[in-house]
Each structure stands twice: as structure tokens, then as C-alpha cells.
Structure 1
Amino acid sequence: MYTLIELQKKLLPDMLSVMQKRFQILRSIHFMEPVGRRTLAQVLGFSERVLRSEVEFLNEQKLITIKTNGMSVSEQGLSVLEGLSGMMREISGINEMEEKLKELLNLQEVVIVPGDSDETPWVKQELGRACAKRMKKRLVGKNTIAVAGGSTMAAVADMISADFIGDSDTVFVPARGGIGEDVKNEANSVCAKMAENTGAKHRVLYVPDQVSKEVYQSFIKEPIIKEVLHLIKNADMVLHGIGDANVMAKRRNTKEEDMKLITNGHAVGEAFGYYFNEAGQVVHKVPTVGLQLQDLQKIKHVIAVAGGSSKAKAIKACMKSATKSTVLITDEGAATKMIGY
């Protein structure tokens, strides 16, 4: 038996394409509001003429409001977005892609959000929102959540609010030290933002991400650092992003001899200071203070968040070393490339 969506695809394909286009426009207005028509046309890649007619239709249906400072989605429009979201995932084939990617990567769950964060900046917010939703489902009783740094983790922090932790007793800890990038994206800052947004507690780990073996041994003897490291390694949940190997190596100001190992090893992805080639093999490891790859084996919930078609190889490579309990949250752009559509 055909589902209703399958029947509509066969008999009314034009109607479905129009619905998808209007849903995309409405969703984009919601994430960018208030937004002008010209800006929206540029983001979506539509001509202003095409967008004008669609905007007029949405306005006539009272799904948006138009003011001098731009367009916004009305309450009725929000209801339509919420009501159609599940159907649009089925129409676009995202549900099927999730199952294929879960099987391909041998993971507990794969969540795909529509769009490509390389092309549309607000898709990263959707990745953050999807992560927050999965986190909330897994919070029971007392929880320690270890969080890595990065712009994607910062987007997750922006998407969680006071109702996130509910009755649970939650503390956020940085998964590792800083790497000298933008301070607001370092793990300590992301943890502080999550704690601030939820009313939870957090701990800090003010040590460099990369240290020599001698300095590392000195650090871990300090009582405060030792206590935080114990919390990190015994976390109930870990949140982390995935980086492009070359981008991360340059950001770390990697030494020339180490850069050769990364380049000659054909590394494509990075997570927790480990550089992976396409086969998922570790070709270089940065000495870091904090969570190590082997620590993930005993952590109940691991959520990896990364998107953008440019990161497809990096995500696929890093996920080959992931635990079966890992949940991957990615976007349509990366998922399409990983599956090979």
C-alpha cells in the first residue's frame, strides 16, 4: 500500500514542490526575522520577482506580517511550520536518509536537519536546537555533561533555556582545555553559557589544550584540576563537534613536523585532538588535557554535532571510531554527501 505522501508524489508532484518552496520561505523568515525581501532572496537563491509573489501569498494567508523593518512569521504561521515539519521531512526523504546513515555509520541514532550550514548560516541554529532536544530526553536525576568547544557547540548553548534541565541536577564541565581560538567558542565559555541559560552549575578547566607530557603530569596533580578531570572522565553525557583536519591543525598553530604527519597521513577529520584519515584511522594525536577517545567507551550518552557539505568526509571518518551509543546530529548537506546521493 502506498502512503498518502507517496500517492501525492505520483499524482500531484507540482503541488508538493510548491509546498516545499513555501515551507522553506516561511521557515527562513522565521529564523531571520525581521528580514527584508532582498536579503531573503539572496539567502535562498531566488529572484526577487519569484520571491515577491510567494511573499504576497503568505501575507494574504496571514502567515507572515510585513513591517518597515522587515518580515516576520505570525502566530498562525508558526502553527503551520510546526504542523508541516514532520510531513516535509518525509517529502524531502530526510527520514529515509536518517535510516541509511544510521546503518552506514553503525550508530544508535542519526538526526538530520534540513539545509546545508555551509550555505545557510541559520541551519547551525537548527543543529543546536536538535541537539538540545536530544539532550533533554536523556536527562534523568543527577547528570554531568562534558562539552567540547567550537562554534557548533556555541550554537547548542544558544538553543537551551531555563526549562531544559527540569527537575534534574545537572553540572556542565569542559571536555578539555582551550585551543586558543575565539574565547566565546572555547569549552569553558560554552559550559558557562549553558549553565547561565539553564540555571545549572558548571566547572572550569583553565589549562591549555596542548601541553608537553611533563607539564601534563604537573597539571593533573593540582587538586582542583584533578577534581574537574575526574568529573569529565566520569560524565554521563558528552557533546562534541567534528572539525576539518587542516582547518583545526592551522587553528592550533601546529608545528611543521606534526603538520607533515597530518598531511602525509591524509587526515580529513578531527575530534578531541585526534586526527583521522578517511578509513577512520588515527594518524596523529595532540597531547591534550581532558577527555580522551578511549574515555568515550564508558560514557552512556555521546552526541556528536556537525554539519555542512564541506565536513562530510570529516564526519564520516570520525564516526568510524564512534561508540555504538553515539548520536550524530548533522544537516542535509553533509548527509547527502556521506550517503553518496
Structure 2
Amino acid sequence: MSELINLQKLLCPDLLKTMQRRYKILHTIQLLEPIGRRGLSEQVALKERVVRSELDYLAQQGMIVVSAKGVLLTATGLEVITKLTPYLDDLSGFQAIEEKIKQTLKLDHVIITPGDSDQHDWVKQDLGLRAVEFLQLQLQSNQTIAVTGGTTMATAAAMMRPSIHSNGCVFVPARGGLGERVENQANTICAEMAKKMKGDYRMLYVPDPLSEETYHSIIQEPAVKDILHMINQASIVMHGIGDAFTMARRRKATAHVLDKLKSGKAVSEAFGYYFNRSGEVVYKVRTVGMQLEELSNIRTVIAIAGGKSKAEAIDSYLRQGKSNVLITDEAAAKALIKGFSL
């Protein structure tokens, strides 16, 4: 395919640009529908008159429908996107970047989506969609899927859709998390994923973090024990990766903890663990749920994180080798590659 792309670039560069522009418009509609012309124009960074002209063409081809509520994708439009995505990824050179990241960080799969989620919300939604698509490829009946909280995971939940392989599947929160915004709590996210996937779910009602005394008391409760057993039996884990100090402040960490993170040169956070640039644990929050060492026993551990600002955190967390899948965006991926050469 790469040879064909090179020939097309040489012979028909304008055609490729038109195809990329129309694909971007269709893909943005898929993520944000129904969306108005003005909003679409802002999201794809094109003048409104250009967007209007392209929408007229796409409507004539039966790929979209323009209604009073906004622009909607048709089944034909969705089919075009599905078939074009691998081609456009190859055209963008993502496969070479994915392979470099996969080899450097010893991962089984790397998936890159265009854009920078620091700059555009639709990129984060695309991350969520790619995560859902990958999950559906891995899913088998009667599996347990553990998910963490956070804004990226909430976006993945919003993009979730039914699967023919989800029969008997159960979603569980990977850890407790009462105290965060409700929509970003693992309990809320796993419930939404389960409902959209037509599966089942369980809740874990414990705060995060906990004192040592409270932790040992809570894990003896029969209901908590049952959920912890289910979490440990998970076949798939989906989680985000956070910037160390952003996550610490979100959890209202004390000045003592912040000093520890600073002295330990913490860069990233996941599952309540804080890591330095080499992937070493420099601090751990006492939480009920999935522990770092337990990830080694899980077949598929999917890390979802994007944005150029997250690149160092992504690199830091993945250095310790507990996750084997990364779904990220173009900006983070290119920053990762640049960081590898330093």
C-alpha cells in the first residue's frame, strides 16, 4: 500500500488533499453528531463556506443527512470511514510511528489517532472510539472488564456501543474513587459501558485514598471482598494515565505528599501509583482495588492517553511494563518519538 500512496502523492497530490479533507469532515461528524455547520467549521479548522460546499457534496453522495438538529452521518458515510481509516493512517505515516513506539516500550499494540487532544475535544473522543473498537476485537463472552476513572475513560464510555461478543460480560471498577466528580468516577464509567454494551456491572463504593487502618478494615467486608475477587479475575483492563502533580492536586494531596512527589521526581500516575521518568514507583496511594503487581496476570491491559502534554507521563508509566496496549494521539506519539532520541 505504501508504494501506491507514494505514486498517488506524486501524480495526484490535490486528490489526496481533497480525500483527507472530506474524511476529516466525515470523521468529525461521526464523533460529534448532530453538529451544526459553524461548529463543524471550528472543529476542522476550515472556513464555513468551504465546509458548506463539502457538506453539499457529501449529502449528494448519500454520506450525510442535514437536518434541523445538525449534520448526521448515514450508514454509507460510516462504511466509507471504516474502509478509509487504515488507508489514511498509512498515508499519515502512523504505522511507522506505531512500530517504533511498540518496539521501544515493548508493547503488543499501539494505535494512533490524528490530532492533539490538548487542543481539540474531538481528538479525545476519537481516542475513546479507537479504544472501544480495540476492546470489541478482544472481547469474548462471559469476560470481566475492569475500568478506571478519569476524563479520558469517561469519553471512552460515551463512545461505547453494543458488541456481538459482549454476552455475559461484566464491567467492574478497577479501584474505588468516591470523592471525584461523579461523571469521572470508575463506578459511573463501568455502569455506562455495561449498559451500552448490554452487559452487567458491579459497583465498588469506597473512597480513594484511604488511611492504612481504614483500608485493612474495608477489605474485610464481604461485599468488598466479592468485588475485589471479580476485579482480580478480569481478562481486560482499560485505564488512563495522568500527570503526577495534576492527579495529586485533584486528589487534594497534602503538602507532605507533594514534597515526596517532588523529591522523587514523579512524572506520571496510574492506579494510585506515582512513577518517575524511569518508570520506578516513587509513591503509592492506599486504594482498594487493582494493584500494580496484579496487572502482570491480565491478558490485555489497555492504556488510553493523549495530548502532547501527556507524552512524558505516558513514557514514564509504560517503562515499567504492566500495560501491553497503548491508544494515543498524533501529538503525544510524535513527542514520544522525539523523547526516545534524547
Check whether TM > 0.5: yes
Map 1:199-238; keep pairs closer than 5 Å: 199-238=198-237
What is the aligned partner in structure 1 of residue 122 from structure 2?
A: 122
Pairing partner for 1:337 from 314, 335, 338: 335
What is the aligned partner in structure 1 of residue 83 from structure 2?
A: 83
What is the aligned partner in structure 2 of residue 35 from structure 1?
A: 35
Structure 2 residue identity aligned to 1:278:
R
1:53 Cα offset (Å): 4.1
Aligned residue for 1:340, secondary structure, equals helix
1:52 Cα offset (Å): 4.0
Change (3 A) 1:247 1:295: same
Structure 2 residue identity aligned to 1:308:
G
What is the aligned partner in structure 2 of residue 177 from structure 1?
A: 176
Cα distance in 2 between the residues matched to 1:61 and 1:163: 29
**Structure 1 portions without partners, runs of 5+:** none
Structure 2 residue identity aligned to 1:47:
K
1:72 Cα offset (Å): 3.1
What is the aligned partner in structure 1 of residue 159 from structure 2?
A: 159
8 A Cα contact 1:165 1:198, kept in partner? no
Map 1:258-269; keep pairs closer than 5 Å: 258-269=257-268
1:104 Cα offset (Å): 1.7
Of the structure 1 ranges 306-315 and 140-149, higher mean CA displacement relative to structure 2 is found in 140-149
Change (3 A) 1:309 1:232: same
In the TM superposition, what whole-angstrom CA distance separates every residue of 1:69-110 from its partner, at most 9, and x where no partner exists? Answer: 433334443333233222111111122221111112110111
Cα distance in 2 between the residues matched to 1:122 and 1:139: 25
Aligned residue for 1:178, secondary structure, equals coil
8 A Cα contact 1:118 1:309, kept in partner? yes
Change (3 A) 1:114 1:225: same
Of the structure 1 ranges 48-57 and 297-306, higher mean CA displacement relative to structure 2 is found in 48-57
Cα distance in 2 between the residues matched to 1:74 and 1:178: 39
Structure 1 residue identity aligned to 2:27:
R
Cα distance in 1 between the residues matched to 2:222 and 2:142: 23
1:248 Cα offset (Å): 0.6
Map 1:1-341; keep pairs closer than 5 Å: 3-167=3-167, 169-323=168-322, 326-340=324-338
Change (3 A) 1:209 1:12: same
1:329 Cα offset (Å): 1.1
Structure 1 residue identity aligned to 2:207:
P
Aligned residue for 1:134, secondary structure, equals helix
In the TM superposition, what whole-angstrom CA distance separates every residue of 1:190-236 from its partner, at most 9, and x where no partner exists? Answer: 12222222332222211112111111111111111122112212322
Aligned residue for 2:326, secondary structure, equals strand
Cα distance in 2 between the residues matched to 1:141 and 1:298: 19
Cα distance in 1 between the residues matched to 2:77 and 2:202: 41
In the TM superposition, what whole-angstrom CA distance separates every residue of 1:7-46 from its partner, at most 9, and x where no partner exists? Answer: 1123333332232122212222332233232222222222
Cα distance in 1 between the residues matched to 2:209 and 2:180: 13
1:242 Cα offset (Å): 0.7
1:2 Cα offset (Å): 6.5
Aligned residue for 2:91, secondary structure, equals helix
1:54 Cα offset (Å): 3.5
Aligned residue for 2:15, secondary structure, equals helix
Cα distance in 2 between the residues matched to 1:199 and 1:18: 39
Structure 2 residue identity aligned to 1:43:
Q
Structure 2 residue identity aligned to 1:235:
A
Cα distance in 2 between the residues matched to 1:335 and 1:54: 30
Change (3 A) 1:284 1:212: same
8 A Cα contact 1:195 1:202, kept in partner? yes
In the TM superposition, what whole-angstrom CA distance separates every residue of 1:263-290 from its partner, at most 9, and x where no partner exists? Answer: 2322221101111122222222111111
Change (3 A) 1:241 1:68: same
Structure 2 residue identity aligned to 1:265:
G
Kindly tell me the number of residue pairs found equivalent between the two proteins: 339
Cα distance in 2 between the residues matched to 1:199 and 1:69: 28
1:259 Cα offset (Å): 0.5
Cα distance in 2 between the residues matched to 1:83 and 1:329: 20
Structure 1 residue identity aligned to 2:226:
E
TM-score of the two chains, using structure 1 as the length reference: 0.91
1:257 Cα offset (Å): 0.6
Cα distance in 2 between the residues matched to 1:35 and 1:128: 19
1:158 Cα offset (Å): 2.5
Q: After the TM superposition, which segments of 4 or more aligned residues of structure 1 sit over 4 Å from their partners?
A: 59-62
**Structure 2 portions without partners, runs of 5+:** none
Cα distance in 1 between the residues matched to 2:131 and 2:165: 14
**What is the root-mean-square deviation in Å for CA atoms of aligned residues?**
2.2
1:295 Cα offset (Å): 0.9
